[in-house]
Amino acid sequence: MRRSLLSSLSLLVSTLYVWVAVVAFGGILVETIVIYPNVFHDPPASLAQAVAFFAITGPADLFPPMGALTVALAVATLVLLWRVRSARWWLVAGLASLVVGEFLFSVLFFWPRNEIMFDEGATVHSVEVLRRTAVEFETGHWVRLAVSGLTAVLVFTGYQRFRRASGTAVGA
């Protein structure tokens, strides 16, 4: 009974982790295709319009809690599936990609630029600084998108290896 409960919990948590990682990647992709062209088309005017548009809710309201949930699910999945050698290092790599390539990169690279563009804006910075910061942000965002995709692939691969090892793979 205990083993069955642990297996069910492992399957549930790891499935949620994969789902959240893939949805997070999809969210960043949508942000790239739909939101960013509007935000960055004519800085600093478009930055000011974005601030007005996102006055109620915006990406900053979604991605930090989603990131925290993803990290929590990653750690829980890693603990629950540690015994599955074929999945272990894929999940470790996915967690490393998530923490270093998404979270730390965001904190160190994006957060200061967000402050310059959206908090301080034209009242503190010149048009040239805002334009340069917008270009840096967009360039860095492609790195973040790629890392988010890498995280999703690593996690999905680890998940599939767990499913095969546990005999829960589709068709098994």
* Token pair of 125 as six digits: 């910075």
Task: Tell me 40's DSSP state.
Answer: S
Q: How does pLDDT run across 125-154, given as a tens digit for each residue? A: 999 999 999 999 999 999 999 999 999 999
Rounded Cα–Cα distance for residues 65 and 70 (Å): 9
Q: How does pLDDT run across 69-119, given as a tens digit for each residue? A: 999 999 999 999 999 999 999 999 999 999 999 999 999 999 999 999 999
Q: Per-residue pLDDT for 169 more than 90?
A: no
Q: Per-residue pLDDT for 122 more than 70?
A: yes
* Token pair of 32 as six digits: 């790239």
* pLDDT band with cut points at 50, 70 and 90 for residue 24: very high
Give the per-residue pLDDT at 170.
Answer: 52
Give the per-residue pLDDT at 97.
Answer: 97
Contacts of 98 (CB under 8 A, 6+ apart): 21, 67, 70, 71, 74, 151
Rounded Cα–Cα distance for residues 6 and 116 (Å): 47
The pTM is what?
0.91
Give the per-residue pLDDT at 171.
Answer: 46
Q: How does pLDDT run across 1-18, given as a tens digit for each residue? A: 677 898 999 999 999 999
Give the per-residue pLDDT at 1.
Answer: 61
Render 81-131 in DSSP notation, one character per residue. HTT-HHHHHHHHHHHHIIIIIIIIHIIIIIHHHHIIIIIIGGGTS-HHHHH
